[in-house]
Amino acid sequence: MKPRPKFMQLPRSVLVGKNVLRRVNFVCDDLNLNGKCLVITGPNTYKIAGKKLCNILSKEHDIELEVINEASTSEVERIVRIVNKEGIKFIAGVGGGRVIDVAKLASKRTALEFLSIPTAASHDGIASSRASLKHNKWSVSKPARAPLGVIADTDIIQNAPYRLLASGCGDIISKYTAIKDWELSNKVNGEEISEYASALSLMTAKIIMDSSKLIRKKEEAGVRKVVKALISSGVAMSIAGSSRPGSGSEHKFSHALDTIAPSPALHGEQCGVGSIIMMYLHKSDWERIRTALRNIGAPTNAGELGIDGEYLINALVRAKDIRTSRYTILDEVNLTRKTAKETLKETGVIE
Ligand SMILES: [Zn+2]
């Protein structure tokens, strides 16, 4: 089989602002999305935005509604069967990360376009072409399809719990270490690096760091900044054709926690704390990362994550075994239990 050519897959229409959900039919017209639409949503997000979306869409389209409970391969299979059976022409995912990831993968499998309509700004999958999925208890990152359109209604997102927004900021701030790892691999292994993708990713992290106090005010202007950063970060990954600009050692640490901790924290919360640790291992300004997370009100230690220190030590030791093809600072330092514990103490993550 010939290798797949590398290309940038980007969203074509992006609408961010107050009460923009009501413009969904306009966006469909603009993107030439016609025929029957499958609306995918979650049980809670249906009440928050799914129902309203169905009411608006059904004025101009036939719709089919599906509520999903998790982002798993079996849910994607189920959605693909519905698409084929019901003669669906396009998909709209309205909800959190799980909903959008399932919509994204179902869209790739069926070669149908999809609209990404996030109800919270908690992670950078809103506009990216990658999805993470639960498979045999492990979370795996898979290539998917970037949304053709993104509708981010800041009224809805502002009403979501603040913890979700703070988590989104953690995911963005963690790009600092993702880029450091990419640069390291470029230096050590000659891995190709996209200067445009890395510059864009760093810029989004900087904007969120600089706006930390504004974001804490929980006003619409701050929410809009976070949403735009999450979309830009997804675009950076599309430019690179991989999640490299958005995911390094700190993401490995978060994935390790997802499998080790009995009740993990949110993805962006774990990545934010991971970024403090990895910045320390990179011998760089880790305190700056911690201050920004504190200003935002995101967790910076085990207590705030609600995870016992023992799990953090184990996750930090095991993080380098996750996705071993991706070279990061963890491959340089080769942490033992003892040095992992010292690192967590030095950075104030555990006492
Ligand atoms: Zn992430």
Instruction: Give the per-residue pLDDT at 71.
Output: 87
Q: How far is the CA of 214 from the centre of ligand 1 (A)?
A: 22
Q: pLDDT tens for residues 230-274?
A: 999 999 998 998 899 999 999 999 999 999 999 999 999 999 999
Centre of ligand 1 from the C-alpha of residue 204, in Å: 13
- Alpha carbon of 181 to ligand 1 centroid (Å): 15
291 Cβ contact partners less than 8 Å away, ≥ 6 residues apart: none
124 CA from centroid of ligand 1 (Å): 6
Question: Ligand 1 (ion): which residues have CB within 5 A?
Answer: 171
66 alpha carbon – ligand 1 mean position (Å): 26
pLDDT for position 44: 95
Domains contained in the chain, CATH given: 13-159 (3.40.50.1970), 162-346 (1.20.1090.10)
- Centre of ligand 1 to C-alpha 233, Å, is 9
Tell me how far the alpha carbon of residue 168 lies from the centroid of ligand 1, in angstroms: 8
Cα(267) to centroid of ligand 1, in Å? 7
Q: Are the CB atoms for 68 and 44 separated by under 8 Å?
A: no
- pTM value? 0.93
pLDDT per residue rounded down to tens, the chain (351 residues): 566 666 788 899 999 999 999 999 999 999 999 999 999 999 999 999 999 999 999 999 999 999 998 888 899 999 999 999 999 999 999 999 999 999 999 999 999 999 999 999 998 889 988 888 877 666 777 888 899 999 999 999 999 999 999 999 999 999 999 999 999 999 999 999 999 999 999 999 999 999 999 999 999 999 999 999 999 999 999 899 889 999 999 999 999 999 999 999 999 999 999 999 999 999 999 999 999 999 999 999 999 999 999 999 999 999 999 989 999 999 999 999 999 999 999 999 999
Separation of alpha carbons 270 and 278, rounded Å? 12
**Tokens 């030095």, residue located:** 346
Q: Distances in Å between the alpha carbon of 66 and those of 20, 34, 57, 112, 349?
A: 22, 19, 15, 16, 41
Give 171 Cα–ligand 1 centroid separation in angstroms: 5
